[in-house]
Amino acid sequence: MMFLGVATAVVGAAARNINISAFEIGLLLAFQNLGFMVGVMVAGALADTRQKTRILMVGSLILAFSFLTFYLWELFWLNVAIMVLIGVGVGSYEGVTDAMLLDLHERRQGLHININHFFVTFGSILLTVYLIFLDVDWRRSLVQSAGVVLILALFFALSKVKRGNEVAEPYMERIRVLSRDRSVIALFLATALVVGVELGTLGILTTYLMELRGFSQTTSKIGLLVFLLGIAVGRVVIGLISRRDRMIQQLLLLFSLATLVFAGLFFLSVSGWTYSLIFAAGLSIAALLPLMITLAGQIYPEMAGTVIGSIKVAIPVGGILIPLIMSLIARQYSLRASLIIFPLALLLAFSILFLQFRRVPRLDSPAT
């Protein structure tokens, strides 16, 4: 899962070296998200009917090939196609790994999925430290990453995991069932909002700290690192204390806390406590996505891959929608005004889940 961070950052890391314009960067990221949507849906659906390690092997081969060939040639549209493949590769990881963990672990599933997503954040932390303290050699790092992914492909080729419940229904029938379930729709919408806030904060935090809080280039990057550390710690700690029979209540509590913390971070003047609020923001939002994914898989354990893959389509949707709204508000009014989108999005997600799950019987297993 660490290679999700590499794939997400590859365009930003290479942009200056290969002299691509802002317009071209936008196209590359858009097509990567398109590939991600295809990869996560197809891999998630196949995870319910095929050996999961074989799907991960194919995804690893696609990702390794993409890393090796990205901007090996200068033809722009060829690299757009390669970015689609990068999206498909990381999408296959997202679509399969959480469903596989639900098969492997009958207890404390929330913890294991939180740990899985911890490694996504861990990869981002490594990348941030690399950007702060080292000279970025993006081509060599991609070749090295491709080598590691090829080793993963070999590992998956030689591995098998126990299968979950066999799914008899065809894919479109499963999608029809899920599309009519209000709980799945609520989790999809909340996922889009949470991911949008997380990715939007990662994108704007250094700019916010420099323009509105007087931070320097270095101290603003340290702020970004503190936010990532908050996410990493939160995914481990909250994963350890999460309970299946209290998951909905825990989600609602975390959403309410995140709404308050993000409002405080962006709109209160707390000069001596800024880093603490940044850490708290990361901590409060850390487990929201993993816990919602766990909840979705527990609602539909017989087709966990399909429901998780469908909900994870919300990841690129939110990653595009929330930053776009923020950008439009900033252009029309100001950067400070645009930051209201973050607590409002979290409040909206809280409201959606509260209205949907307040009358739903709690899951009665003693632990996740």
Q: CA-to-CA distance for 151 and 311, rounded, in angstroms?
A: 29
**Do 171-359 and 1-161 have the same topology in CATH?**
yes
**Res. 44 pLDDT band, cuts 50 70 90:** confident
Tell me which residue of 100, 104, 108 sits closest to 244, measured CA to CA.
Answer: 108
How many alpha carbons fall within 13 Å on the CB side of residue 362? 14
Q: Positive or negative, the Cα torsion across 108, 110, 115, 116?
A: positive
Cα-Cα end-to-end distance for the chain: 21
| Domain locations in the chain as residue ranges | 1-161, 171-359
**Res. 117 pLDDT band, cuts 50 70 90:** low
The pLDDT of residue 349: 95
pLDDT single digits (tens) 155-198: 888 877 665 555 557 767 777 888 888 999 999 999 999 988 98
Q: Kindly give, in sequence order, each residue whose CB lies less than 8 Å from that of residue 168, ignoring residues fewer than 6 positions away.
A: none
Q: Is the whole model's pTM more than 0.85, yes or no?
A: no
CB 122 within 8 A of CB 306: no
Is the confidence at residue 65, as pLDDT, over 90? yes
Q: Is 26 or 43 the better-scoring residue by pLDDT? A: 43
The pLDDT of residue 108: 57
CB 27 within 8 A of CB 80: yes
The pLDDT of residue 347: 97
Kindly list the distances between the CA atom of residue 184 and the CA atoms of 166, 169, 311, 354, 360, in Å, as whole numbers in the listed order.
21, 18, 7, 14, 13
CATH number of the domain at 1-161, please?
Answer: 1.20.1250.20
The pLDDT of residue 27: 76
Q: Give mean pLDDT, residues 278-287.
A: 92
CATH number of the domain at 171-359, please?
Answer: 1.20.1250.20
